[in-house]
Chain A
Amino acid sequence: DSGVTQTPKHLITATGQRVTLRCSPRSGDLSVYWYQQSLDQGLQFLIQYYNGEERAKGNILERFSAQQFPDLHSELNLSSLELGDSALYFCASSVGVGGEKYFGPGTRLTVT
């Protein structure tokens, strides 16, 4: 158990819908990262937040957005969902801006 929690574990929704994925980092970690794992693209970095501020951005679509709240938990919002958004979404956390990352168990999103 990495200490990073993600909810829900599974999510099934229809195209065009909007969903919110939630991540709670390990106690004391200030950075949260979001990754997408799909069969065709592999593991891709989406976005990083550090202490509430956006720190780095990767291959995140405009339909996707994230935020980190004062209690340091983070939410990833996915809107206008398409079939291709079906993937495993991982959250990771670390103490600082860099440093060793601890990954959560992931949220499996299925868009039908």
Chain B
Amino acid sequence: AQSVTQPDIHITVSEGASLELRCNYSYGATPYLFWYVQSPGQGLQLLLKYFSGDTLVQGIKGFEAEFKRSQSSFNLRKPSVHWSDAAEYFCAVGEGGSNYKLTFGKGTLLTVNP
């Protein structure tokens, strides 16, 4: 069965610092990969997705992620974090080669210090 691991439960960074959130997946075929963000009291918003092609994917809000098949990873990055980026971030893999059944990681809570 497919699974997603986000090794970091909680990360704290200073505003303006760079950010990398880790995600490792387990999936037999080429995965469909996603990053979502959840702000307090809100639903999940899609930041970016990878289906195929270029392994560096650009998303909204200045985020990007890189798919590395050899490492089974899909890490999320941002060069300069803003205080409004404080939220919980979820990595997900689409099951069955499609994306209608998403398996989510446990999430990484991002705190941004001024």
Contacts and interface: CB of A to CB of B under 8 A. Distances in A.
Interface of A: 2, 4, 31, 33, 42-45, 48, 55-56, 58, 90, 92, 94, 97-101, 103-106
A8 B5 CA distance: 32
Contacts of B92: 43
B29 to A, nearest CB: 15
26 contacts: A2-B43, A2-B45, A4-B43, A31-B100, A42-B104, A42-B105, A42-B107, A43-B44, A43-B104, A45-B101, A45-B102, A48-B100, A55-B100, A90-B44, A94-B100, A97-B100, A98-B99, A98-B100, A99-B99, A101-B46, A101-B99, A103-B43, A103-B45, A104-B43, A105-B42, A105-B43
Contact of B98 (A45, A92, A97, A103): A97
Interface residues of B, number: 21
Contact of B90 (A43, A45, A98): A43
A56 B100 contact: yes
B76 to A, nearest CB: 16
Contacts of A31: 100
Interface of B: 36, 41-46, 49, 90, 92, 94, 98-107
Contact of A33 (B41, B98, B100): B100
Contacts of A4: 43
Nearest to B44: A103
